[in-house]
Structure 1
């Protein structure tokens, strides 16, 4: 008996010291811009190569709804929208560039791309009519709306015209159109300003969630931004606010793109935050990953594999939903197989 117990103890010790088998994730990128703020891109060949290298099966692909102006008084062309004080302006041709890039692909390649319309002014009550025309020009091409820029750090101040709000009348008309066409909406709306340590702008997001229950909203960066973090490091109210919203609005989905990874999902030592793990486990179908790259695709896979420590701390089934499947589940029903449609119809919140 002693020998048996000793052998059992040795086996348990050995098992505890063996490395855990690494999970081989495949990803969906739920937030990718084909062009940058000057409407330029590395091109579709480069994007496909980066997707294959990074095990990225699917991408949401959109343009950038504004173009950065190279002002007459600036001797050097800026490299980013924040490069100087010159304005940006709404740029509808961004959708033409995305459509042209997707249309050049083979049928098999196109199955991996999910184009979202973004080239409209969210302050203009004509915007829904423009979006409808774009949908009718290319039936079946567009699978979502966004990324819609509303409150967006210093970019908001640079864009010509009034500050867009997620709950203004023009956006309300767009949400009705999104429900009509079964299109998800990827919305960028900061939860607060750079200096206010409270959810100053939360109502601008919560009101559409409440008033448009049949629209699937993907909240870009969970309302966070790197510019907010530069001023206040970390929003202590973000986790509790998301918990309440997810419990109250089954049509809300969260894009965990890069400004959420740190300092929220992972701490300064790269370890997962247990509170965020608990939140994702509580709502396992409601979170997705995004790179938020803008026209440049080198290292694309690294942006998504950076989430692996957080994913590895989740139950494997939940981790694979977050890494790949949850984004696919918010797409229009007609873009899924009959079997997938039946499953999504049964599981999808807000339907």
Structure 2
């Protein structure tokens, strides 16, 4: 289908006397921005899902088929997105600038499928992660017949975290789409209600860029935590450390996945609107942009908190190793945040003083 669109766009661009007009659609830059927002994280999640099935040590567990189906669906969705993005990029490289715009305008339906596939990739991955605690290997020194009690003991962490993650993914995705649909139904009312108080288009672009900036690093972080949960065993003599280590790790994965979903939905929902409505929707969804930043920071802190107990769980005699390095990381992270806040406040105060001095000078003159 995409190849056919490429040929149609090329023929229309070459035939300047054609009376058929290309319907309005996203420009090439917006198209590539949308694909970049979902392709990188989806490729990582596809790799996580593939390895999650490859290292299924307890294939005879009761919930094993549910886990495999969820990971397989996540992998297939990621594979679809990867192939779609590659084919679109390949066809764009072959077209002239005029044909590229026409080709991008015809990909509206394809982008809808890509957006749904990305949501399906994250949702199915989270669903499989929900039951992973009941099929993973918790102690590498015990036979498979003795893994069941450990799974029922510690699997509740992934069950609760996964269910909360699925609920949050659905709720936030529904909220963003509902706000965008309301704005589409009454665009004039939205523009009139905002007036001149909302953000400018340049500011909206910056907000989207910042929201998308941490997607790749967050996906990488989520993948590392997933592998830690998948491959790590427990310390049979310290259940408290086990619950703390895996609990914070699950929290990191869930928070990071929610941030990735919000970032994708914001980018797609805002870029589908006209310039004026983009500013309106960005104003209404300001709390979601702030939520992304909070989730990024919270997932990083919870990851460091999980590392507090990593050595205690894996190498009890070296319990101080990961604990000391995690403390150093938290101190550096906290110090950096405090310094940046103080620097921002100082520059804002300096700008206010310069503005007031200019006003006084103008009054004197």
- Answer whether TM exceeds 0.5 for this pair: no
TM norm structure 2: 0.23
With structure 1 as the length reference, what TM-score do the two structures score?
0.24
Where is the helix percentage greater, Structure 1 or Structure 2?
A: 2
Report the structure number with the largest CA radius of gyration.
2
Q: Highest relative contact order (Cα 8 Å, sep 6+), 1 or 2?
A: 1
Select the structure that is richer in strand: 1
